[in-house]
Homo-oligomer: A and B are copies of this chain.
């Protein structure tokens, strides 16, 4: 009601009522510390003066707890949420935050040069999503003394993390194709470094991939390959950036000239791009070409894609819980399981 020159504060209310600020504070935080009558009068005066309760920032300074955790993505936010898998993980994190009555702050990535927001975000901890192993933001968070949990990448010992059995899942995907008799197989990969490079990734690049999650996936494919006594270096790994369905389309356009009988796509979005490209080329799936994805997103399911399922929601939720349950920072849990889901995009060679 009364909107003075300056917004009302605890002291304002205290003075108006002739009591001490501590009393006003108690009225809000410890009702048992003052008589019901006085408390009512405090609240009434507060209402009259337009005082909306203790200032959250000052309270935070005092308490040392912001009541929010942060979520950091490798790419700009508006791009990250283009990826259905990232959104699923976000939902998991959000669900855990809701359960703990804690805010979730998306920490934007700024254009290079700008002072990083990871250094100044008002959070009690950070979930890092798919950051490369050597990312600066991990270091900055550490320096601030913020608890950190990584998802997908980087993995321990670089950072405490919630991991998924990417390697096992990828191995199962590759073995599935091998079991179906495929030998001329190509891989469609998302970025294996943050340099925006595109092309057929040589072995050195595959191994130097700083994104731990996808490096594991590639390693899983290779496991299966070598277990079958085949030469992994003969497999074409076609890398495209930036990430997305279009990347899959473009990779496949080039790849299909080799007439592979099957494609291992490192994610469902890429795989859906491959399906597009195949259709454009008049190839039937799975008759002429088998395709396997990774992630098991809803649109992959709708498209009948054979893929590797991982528990996206649980992954995000586990990361948030790790931050929220044990403030000290808990030990990393065992890898979450992956599972091959066979649908209609794969058939015998």
A140 to B299, CA, bound (A): 39
Q: Are A105 and B108 in contact (CB under 8 A)?
A: no
Q: How far is the CB of A186 from the nearest CB of chain B, in Å?
A: 25
A24 at the interface (CB under 8 A from B): no
Could you tell me which residues of chain A, from 89 to 144, have a CB within 8 Å of some CB in chain B? 90-92, 94-95, 97-98, 101-110, 114, 117, 119-122, 140, 143-144
| Partner among B56, B95, B114, B121 whose Cβ is within 8 Å of the Cβ of A120 | B56
A108 to chain B: closest residue by CB? B98
A92 to B60, CA, bound (A): 29
Could you tell me which residues of chain A, from 284 to 316, have a CB within 8 Å of some CB in chain B? 299, 302, 313
A13 at the interface (CB under 8 A from B): no
Q: Are B52 and A119 in contact (CB under 8 A)?
A: yes
A94 to B72, CA, bound (A): 12
Q: Are B56 and A57 in contact (CB under 8 A)?
A: no
Q: Are A98 and B109 in contact (CB under 8 A)?
A: yes
A94 to chain B: closest residue by CB? B77
A95 to chain B: closest residue by CB? B78
A41 at the interface (CB under 8 A from B): no
Q: Are A98 and B77 in contact (CB under 8 A)?
A: yes
A51 to chain B: closest residue by CB? B143
A106 to B95, CA, bound (A): 11
Q: A81-B94, A91-B81, A95-B77 are in contact. Are A108 and B119 (CB under 8 A)?
A: no
A61 at the interface (CB under 8 A from B): yes
Could you tell me which residues of chain A, from 26 to 77, have a CB within 8 Å of some CB in chain B? 50, 52-53, 56-61, 66-68, 70, 76-77
Interface centre among A103, A114, A119, A143 (most CB of B within 10 A): A103
Q: Are A103 and B105 in contact (CB under 8 A)?
A: yes
Q: How far is the CB of A107 from the nearest CB of chain B, in Å?
A: 6
A52 to B120, CA, bound (A): 10
Q: How far is the CB of A321 from the nearest CB of chain B, in Å?
A: 14
A107 to B94, CA, bound (A): 9
Q: Are B105 and A104 in contact (CB under 8 A)?
A: yes
Q: Which residues in B have their C-beta under 8 angstroms from that of A76?
A: 94-95, 98
A20 at the interface (CB under 8 A from B): no
- Sort A-B residue pairs by CB-CB distance and give the 3 closest, nearest first: A77-B94, A78-B95, A52-B143
List 12 additional A-B contacts (Cβ < 8 Å) besides A103-B121, A103-B122, A104-B108.
A52-B144, A57-B61, A67-B120, A76-B94, A77-B91, A77-B98, A78-B91, A78-B313, A81-B90, A98-B108, A101-B110, A299-B302
